[in-house]
Amino acid sequence: MLRRILLAAALAGAAAFGVYWWLTAPPIVLAATEPAYTPNRANGQIIFNAGGCSSCHAVPGQPDRSRLGGGLAIPSPFGTFYAPNISPDPADGIGRWTERDFVNAVTEGISPRGTHYFPAFPYTSYQHAKGSDVRDLFAYLKTLPKVSGKVRDHDVAFPFNIRRNIGIWKMLFMDGKPFTADATRPAQWNRGAYLVNSFGHCAECHSPRNFLGGIIAAQRFAGAPNPEGEGWVPNITQKGIGDWSQNDIGYFLETGAMPDNDTAGGLMARVIKNTSQLPADDRAAIADYIKSLPPVEGPPRPPKTSK
């Protein structure tokens, strides 16, 4: 009897492990031949700025936004992540990556070795990007300086350091759907919606998250604790900035100046360095879309403490 119980337990354990292994496995990506395509590096530069690539991947402490040697510490409730080297350096960066490697990394969160990237890399937003834009970005990155130097490993405690578990996280928080334009809206609004929800990844910071680190969909854009640990990322729905005009938003994205004469600081100051480089039409499109966001009540902010 005991032998049967142990055998049944072993079989159940093996079955459970098999299900876990299947659920957490990165998808098998075939090395399909992409259609012939001539990259538009000028568009790649626009996407580079829309995505804020330099904010995370530029070497900290130096002013050159094109030196993408990584190393920035990114705090989170799960540990500290370190932005990798994405310069064209063949040894320490992405110089040996294929275009397919890059597309898989950006839109699927899968490394060239076939492992999951942690979602500190905002591929949950980048998954909605157009393939042509991702390919243009890759072509642009290859024109930037090679920066040598490996970035240290992430400092993430067990069990969050098990990359295999990210497979289940992706099932919960990634829909795999490309951006679809709203035919009832004008082209400018759709351009803004695309930039905000794909490469702009605005919701990644401006939305609260649940205990697993997934965005709470009902409070998307409604503000959240600063992921760096101090302060609060504001609500950018009409509940939070309803008194801002569309022009106010566009001007803020260009200069960092707010309607009340305050200026952007912290994380947003780094974002402004990128959005200020966008074409004026793209800033206007982003402003159009953000101004259209319906009012959403965000999570309660903690009371300010007196020093």
The whole model's pTM is what? 0.87
Q: What is the DSSP letter of 179?
A: P
Instruction: Give the list of residues 6+ apart from residue 114 with CB closer than 8 angstroms, or none.
Output: 26, 29
Chain segment 201-257, per-residue pLDDT in tens: 999 999 999 998 999 999 999 999 887 767 889 999 999 999 999 999 999 999 999
| Closest to 245 measured CA to CA, from 284, 298, 281, 274 | 284
Q: Is residue 21 part of a domain?
A: no
Q: Are residues 158 and 199 in the same domain?
A: no
Q: Are residues 164 and 85 in the same domain?
A: yes
Q: Are residues 166 and 129 in the same domain?
A: yes
Following CA atoms 35, 41, 47, 52 in sequence, which dihedral angle do they give, to the nearest 10 degrees? 130
Distance separating alpha carbons of residues 260 and 76, to the nearest angstrom: 31
Q: Are residues 195 and 161 in the same domain?
A: no
Q: Are residues 218 and 293 in the same domain?
A: yes
Residues spanned by the domain of 113: 35-178
Tell me the pLDDT of the chain (307 aa) as tens digits: 656 555 545 544 444 444 444 445 456 554 455 677 889 999 999 999 999 999 999 999 888 999 999 999 988 888 999 999 999 999 999 999 999 999 999 999 999 999 999 999 999 999 999 999 999 999 999 999 999 999 999 998 888 788 878 998 899 999 888 899 999 999 999 999 999 999 999 999 999 999 989 999 999 999 998 877 678 899 999 999 999 999 999 999 999 999 988 888 888 888 999 999 999 999 999 999 999 999 999 888 776 655 4
Q: Are residues 174 and 186 in the same domain?
A: no
Q: Are residues 55 and 78 in the same domain?
A: yes
Contact indicator for 133, 199 with CB cutoff of 8 Å: yes
Q: Is residue 88 part of a domain?
A: yes
Contact indicator for 272, 258 with CB cutoff of 8 Å: no
Total number of domains constituting the chain: 2
Q: Is residue 172 part of a domain?
A: yes
